Chain A
Amino acid sequence: MGLFPVPESSEPEIMEPQYQATTKSRELPMARSMCWHCQSEVTGEYLCGQCVKVQPLSKDLDYFSCFQLPRLLNIDEQQLEQTFYELSRTFHPDFYSTKDESEKAISLGNSAFLNTGYRILKDPIQRAEYLIRLEAGAVKDIRSNPPADLFEEVLELQEDLETFRQLAPNGTSSELEALRTKLQDEREGLEKRQAEMEKSLQHKFREWDQLQGDPPDLSQTREKKNTLLRGMQEILSNRTYVRNMVDDLLETTG
């Protein structure tokens, strides 16, 4: 094998935090200010004003800016979809089939970026994880230890799961069925907990969005934001842990 991926590097490249949360721009930053083809100046349009060639999106572009959305956690999903469709009509490779290789390549790259952005922003959890990375520059932290308050419970659960896996191939038995019922109850408990976490996340999302109205340069605002970001990150990684447990249970016990 000899395979040794560097774990954190699979994340998309992220720009430095910029507080332009409430400005709603119709312009997208392009890779450079000059058209790659005719060298004329490109002013934030996707297509060159002179030669109408498609321009590559800037490497510094973040998904919120790409979709012309403020950096909020509750977003207008209708608008997100509409912008996605509009930009797809601009960038999709289907419309560059008769163009030259450079334009095809740019269309492919822009489209791939757009699709990834849409997928992340559409999902509230992925959207929050992305925003935290963007704001705090934090590396996505997938917790490998269970959350403190779940520790005992999870240990027992792991043991039961292991026993279940050993028993299952031998066909049904009363012991297996009792264990199945127990594990299903456990799963319901975890699902409830997951729902609670999501509720408190919702609460924090609203808090975050309200903060965006505050003057961004104040150290007080900065501090509040950092506290919130840390809080959200904590819940998000606990939630990921719980969800993985639930998935594991579902897969094993059906």
Chain B
Amino acid sequence: MGRIVGIDLGTTNSLVAFMDQEGPHVIPGPDGQTKVPSIVGLTDNGLIVGEPAKAHLIRDPSRTIYSVKRFMGKGLDDVKDELKYFSYQLHEKNGVIRIEIGDKTYSPPQVSAMILKELKRRAEEFLKEDVSKAVITVPAYFNDSQRQATKDAGLIAGLEVLRIINEPTAASLAYGLQKKTQGLIAIYDLGGGTFDISILKLKDGIFEVLATNGDTHLGGDDFDQRLVDVMVDGILKTQGLDIGKSPDLMQTVRLEAERVKVRLSDETHTKAVIELPDGKYEKTWTREDMEALTMDLVERTLAPCRSALKDAGLHANQIDEVVLVGGNTRMPLVWRKVEELFDKKPHSELNPDEVVALGAAVQADILGGHTTDLLLLDVTPLSLGIETMGGVMSALIRRNTTIPTSAKEMFTTYVDGQTSVDIHILQGERELVKDNRSLARFQLKLPPLPAGVPRVEVNFLIDANGILHVTARDIRTGEAQSVQVKPSHGLTDDEVEGMIRDSFQFATEDIKARQIIEARNEANAIIVATEKALVRATNLINDKETESIRRILQQLGEVKEGEDHRVIRAKIAEAEKTTHHLAEVLMDATLKEALESKKLSDIIK
């Protein structure tokens, strides 16, 4: 069995981790960065993902997708209040949001799959082996549709998703392993787009989740947006420029807002500078400014904390440890508010950006059969029920029930000869159907008999991923019935199949985009190294040679901005030839060795 990786598929950043004998490790990219921005850009040469796509965001905002996690398992109606934050076009098909970029249309799982593929590739390069199995994390408060959408994303990316695991519980695994903690812990997880709180009991290697709560519409993005709104307003007032109509400037402001937020965690004031077509906009931000502006957002996280405590049957002061997870918990205001609520200093020894991915790697190791002393017992975050007479939801499985769990319901007919009943499955805590989340519908077949005689038992099972499975059995005959569940906000199996096929096709297109990025990176490395070498070798080569090297560097600098990787490659080869002598001379001089086959960029770092 191949290695199973752990993936944190985040709203703003994603990470991949693995576990060996020493423990879990996050896998860095070639640049040493562990975070891959969850951004996908469509260029004329195909798709780009991560850091390169972040740069693309300003250049071509209408063809760059960010925060796609907010759309997973949702319909257009669910996000109508957030539409103004996005610079790309959305529409809906069969209850699922579709994202338009260029002349192509993608579902959120497809876009997430692009990010997953990038992580998969990164892991394969690092581990030097094929990676086809993964554990992927989701916010604890994700509903069934959102979990299913995440699983679909894995499939489309060519990953077998062995487990969907909740982010705060993953974090607890990484912590528990590290610190051998026992007792009651609260995990406060403020991510890019979602907030979760989980209360766990840790005892002898068992991680039992007692209660979880959250808000899937509250995250760091919302903090950024507050700053964006102020600056957009400021630009309008001082410069008379309404940037609401220019997506590229909006993205510039958004990135600057994020930077301000991050800086104000360490500093008490910082300056935002935004280059505008005619001049620039500057604003000095103090930490107090920002805290006043976002206080209500932090306070919004406290109600779910109280609900979770209540459901766990605990008082805040009974919690032994409070752990902060997610980059946004670096904000001092969050620390203060959390400390106030639990009357305890929270801690975050492990990097809050990485801890979820590390925990996912631990869970992957448990599933792989290597770690056998740890076990996670998680819960379903929302009550599951069915629609009954009068538009009321009748709950079958209560929230915070340990999973896997199942509930049975018997169905019969109320008209003679009736051959089917329609069943509507819901998730949520409200009494009325319309206030809860519609998960799926299906039609239960019944034998044509007098009213009340047929007895079909339907079993609703929530598996360890928090995903619902429905089976039915005719009690009179004992025969199992097949149930075709139609998700309200999910892709059908056929659609997922089609997207898996498409993803192979995209893959060939995307190779082009990747080749350009790699060629550009290499060109950049050569330029930097050669310039350093020229300084060191001032007296070792003559002016004519210096001149020709400078010329080739300049040409390389121009060529690398082009869109054809072969042209860049050709120029790189030419540059290497031109600098070959320089490399030799430098080597002779410094190492007194002949290293004829080495390239200059290998010698000078």
Chain A residues within CB distance 8 Å of chain B: 1-6, 9-10, 12, 85, 88-89, 92-95, 97-98, 108-109, 111-112, 115-116, 118-119
Top 7 nearest A-B pairs by Cβ distance?
A9-B410, A97-B367, A6-B410, A115-B402, A112-B406, A112-B404, A93-B464
Given A88, A95, A108, which contacts B377 in the complex, CB threshold below 8 Å? A88
Min CB gap A17→B, angstroms: 21
Q: How far is the CA of A13 from the CA of B478 in the complex (A)?
A: 15
Q: How far is the CA of A119 from the CA of B402 in the complex (A)?
A: 8
Q: Is the CB of A12 within 8 A of B408?
A: yes
Q: How far is the CA of A115 from the CA of B378 in the complex (A)?
A: 11
Q: How far is the CA of A108 from the CA of B394 in the complex (A)?
A: 24
Q: How far is the CA of A22 from the CA of B369 in the complex (A)?
A: 38
Closest to B386 in A: A3
Q: Inside 8 A of A88's CB, which chain B residues have their CB?
A: 206, 375, 377
Min CB gap A113→B, angstroms: 8
Q: Inside 8 A of B204's CB, which chain A residues have their CB?
A: 85
Min CB gap B163→A, angstroms: 8
Given B368, B406, B424, which contacts A116 in the complex, CB threshold below 8 Å? B406
Q: Is the CB of B367 within 8 A of A3?
A: no
Q: Is the CB of A4 within 8 A of B405?
A: no
Q: Is the CB of A5 within 8 A of B409?
A: yes
Q: Contacts A10-B409, A97-B162, A116-B406; is A92 near B386 (CB within 8 Å)? A: no
Q: How far is the CA of A212 from the CA of B368 in the complex (A)?
A: 46
Q: Is the CB of B463 within 8 A of A94?
A: no
Does residue B366 face the partner (Cβ distance < 8 Å to A)? yes
Min CB gap A74→B, angstroms: 18
Given B366, B368, B388, B405, which contacts A5 in the complex, CB threshold below 8 Å? B388
Min CB gap B452→A, angstroms: 9
Q: Is the CB of A92 within 8 A of B372?
A: no
Given B368, B389, B463, which contacts A1 in the complex, CB threshold below 8 Å? B389
Q: Contacts A6-B411, A108-B461; is A98 near B405 (CB within 8 Å)? A: no
Q: How far is the CA of A94 from the CA of B4 in the complex (A)?
A: 13
- Offer 20 A-B interface pairs, CB within 8 angstroms, sorted by A: A1-B388, A1-B389, A3-B424, A9-B408, A9-B409, A9-B457, A10-B396, A10-B408, A85-B206, A88-B377, A89-B206, A89-B375, A93-B404, A94-B367, A94-B375, A94-B376, A95-B372, A97-B368, A108-B404, A119-B402
Q: Inside 8 A of A95's CB, which chain B residues have their CB?
A: 366, 369, 372, 375
Does residue B421 face the partner (Cβ distance < 8 Å to A)? yes
Q: How far is the CA of A115 from the CA of B405 in the complex (A)?
A: 7
Chain B residues within CB distance 8 Å of chain A: 1, 162-163, 203-204, 206, 363, 366-369, 372, 375-377, 386-389, 394, 396, 401-414, 418, 420-424, 455, 457, 461, 463-464
Q: Is the CB of B404 within 8 A of A115?
A: yes
Q: How far is the CA of A98 from the CA of B411 in the complex (A)?
A: 36
Q: How far is the CA of A73 from the CA of B406 in the complex (A)?
A: 25
Q: Is the CB of A4 within 8 A of B368?
A: no
Closest to B394 in A: A5
Q: Contacts A2-B422, A9-B409, A85-B206; is A115 near B401 (CB within 8 Å)? A: yes
Q: How far is the CA of A109 from the CA of B414 in the complex (A)?
A: 31
Closest to A111 in B: B404
Q: Is the CB of B403 within 8 A of A115?
A: yes
Q: How far is the CA of A4 from the CA of B455 in the complex (A)?
A: 11
Q: Contacts A3-B389, A9-B457, A89-B375; is A98 near B1 (CB within 8 Å)? A: yes
Q: Is the CB of B387 within 8 A of A3?
A: yes
Given A4, A85, A112, A119, which contacts B461 in the complex, CB threshold below 8 Å? A112
Q: Is the CB of B396 within 8 A of A3?
A: no
Q: Inside 8 A of A89's CB, which chain B residues have their CB?
A: 206, 375
Q: Is the CB of B203 within 8 A of A85?
A: yes
Q: How far is the CA of A93 from the CA of B368 in the complex (A)?
A: 12
Min CB gap A103→B, angstroms: 13
Closest to A116 in B: B405
